[in-house]
Structure 1
Amino acid sequence: MIRLVTGGVRSGKSQFAEEIAQRAGEKVLYVATGVPGDEKMQERIARHRDRRPKSWGLVEEEWDLEVAITRSGEWDACLIDDLGVWTANHVMRLSEEAIQEDQGGFEAQMAEKTDRLLDVLQDREAILVTAETGLGGVVMSRMGRLFQDTLGTVNQQVAKKADEVWLVVCGIPYRIKGGDA
């Protein structure tokens, strides 16, 4: 079963996803996409790490999620936190020239990566966390718009294949697709 948990920044989506993963079994693989680039990001990563059970497996992977998951062995559930950071990691690799000239090629590449990820997770217990991009205005910079558009496409792609989709607002989860958690 694939579950997508979405919401705004600091909405409680990661914590809710962790609660779902704990109910899925003892052997949980946590796939972290965050890169500790500055002090604030290091603090955020530490908060997530401190909150998780020590028994969970950890894979830190910012680029090739499907490869990391395939190599990780057997587990009861896989929690990926998060697709927004994963998408941002790929956007940040692009040159300014590539961003300026992009005509949808990057978005298509990310759609292919997302398909491969979903193929690996098919018929497994997986919880994917993402940031909701559809509630704010359009970002003014080209890089920001590329990120926003691409993440919106990734989110829609995952939501379409997911058995359940949850929206977390102010720490309160709302099921918007599928059955019980």
Structure 2
Amino acid sequence: MPYALITGGVRSGKSGFAEQRAGYDRRVLYVATGRAWDEEMEQRIKLHQERRPAEWGVLESGAPLTETLADQDGWDCILIDCLSTWLSCILLELPEPEWRAESTRRSVHAEAERLADHFAHPDRSAVIVTTETGLGGVALSPLGRAFQDLLGEVNQIVAKRAEDVYLIIAGRALKL
């Protein structure tokens, strides 16, 4: 089964829905893209860890997401949680002038295309989580605006090839 994209606002219930969609009774590889850069993020990560089945595999991934996935066949499903923290990690590593640079945009878009290509095969099953940037106001900082714009573009690239796309609001799923 080609991949499903799960999107929604922060704390909308998208990760829990994605975990159910991946299947608690299947061999799932959970690809964690976030980093514990402060105590609050450590708590968020801990909540995700406690909720996941202990039998699931876990792989922490950085910016070259598709390189990380290259040798990960053999799982019933791969769950990536999530593209927004993946992009955050990329942008936080860059100096401010590169946040909106065309080279950054091309690089991120290319990785999103490679990710969509990777899971376009009918023998690979995946659930990909992302945050919907279009639900809130325009960010107040230059970094926030660069993040929103770039994540919106990444979401469109990945959604275009997804078999299913779900919008999660208040813990409820709407299939798009």
- TM bracket (short chain): over 0.9
TM-score by length of 1: 0.91
Give the C-alpha shift of residue 18 in structure 1. Answer: 0.1
Total equivalences in the alignment: 173
Q: Over residues 137-166 of structure 1, what are the superposed CA-to-partner deviations in whole Å (9 max), with x where a residue is unaligned?
A: 221322111111100000011111101000
Give the C-alpha shift of residue 61 in structure 1. Answer: 0.6
For structure 1, the residue ranges without an aligned partner over 5 or more in a row are: 177-181
Q: Over residues 2-53 of structure 1, what are the superposed CA-to-partner deviations in whole Å (9 max), with x where a residue is unaligned?
A: 1000000000000000000116x62111000010111111111011011111
Matched with 2:4 is 3
Matches within 5 A, 1:25-36: 26-36=26-36
Matched with 1:112 is 110
Matched with 1:50 is 50
Matched, 1:87 2:87: yes
Give the C-alpha shift of residue 97 in structure 1. Answer: 3.0
Q: Give the whole-Å Cα distance in 1 for the aligned partners of 2:97 and 2:26.
A: 46
Give the C-alpha shift of residue 104 in structure 1. Answer: 3.1
Q: Give the whole-Å Cα distance in 2 for the aligned partners of 1:116 and 1:49.
A: 27
The one-letter code of the counterpart of 1:169 is I
Matches within 5 A, 1:7-156: 7-22=8-23, 26-99=26-99, 102-123=100-121, 124-156=124-156
User: Secondary structure in 1 aligned to 2:151?
Assistant: helix
TM-score by length of 2: 0.93
Preserved contact between residue 84 and residue 151 of structure 1 (Cα < 8 Å): yes
Give the C-alpha shift of residue 67 in structure 1. Answer: 1.2
The one-letter code of the counterpart of 2:120 is Q
Preserved contact between residue 107 and residue 153 of structure 1 (Cα < 8 Å): no
Identity of aligned residues (%): 43
Preserved contact between residue 120 and residue 161 of structure 2 (Cα < 8 Å): no
The one-letter code of the counterpart of 2:110 is E
Aligned alpha-carbon RMSD (Å): 1.3
Q: Give the whole-Å Cα distance in 1 for the aligned partners of 2:57 and 2:67.
A: 16
